[in-house]
Amino acid sequence: MAGDTWTETDTVRARQFWEAYQRQHDVTERIGQTAGIDAINGQVWFGASAKEIVAQLEAEGVTRPLYFVRVGADYYFRKGRRQ
C-alpha cells in the first residue's frame, strides 16, 4: 500500500486495531507517547513522535504507512486554539 493510497477504510481498520491493542495491553505507562499502527496487520510501534517511529522503522528496513495517535488521546495532533 503506497502512502498516497491511504483510505478512510485504512483509518477505520487502524483505529480498530488500536482499540483491540489497548484492551489486551496496559498502556497507562505510555500515556503521552506516540503509537504508530499498521492498518494491514495491526502491528503497533511506540516512540516520542511520529518522526521517531518512522526513523526506527527505516533503520529496520521497514517502510509502510502508519496511523499515528497520541496514547491517552483520540488524535495525534490537533491544530488550532482551545476555546
State how many domains the chain has.
1
Does 79 fall in a domain? no
Does 77 fall in a domain? no
- Structural domain containing residue 12: 3-70
Query: What is the pLDDT at residue 8?
Result: 93
Residue range 26-45: average pLDDT?
95
pLDDT averaged over the chain?
A: 88
Kindly give, in sequence order, each residue whose CB lies less than 8 Å from that of residue 21, ignoring residues fewer than 6 positions away.
27, 37, 42, 44
- pTM, two decimals, is 0.83
Check residue 34 and report its DSSP letter: E
Given a cut of 90, is residue 25 above it in pLDDT?
Answer: yes
Query: What is the pLDDT at residue 1?
Result: 47
Does 78 fall in a domain? no
Does 17 fall in a domain? yes
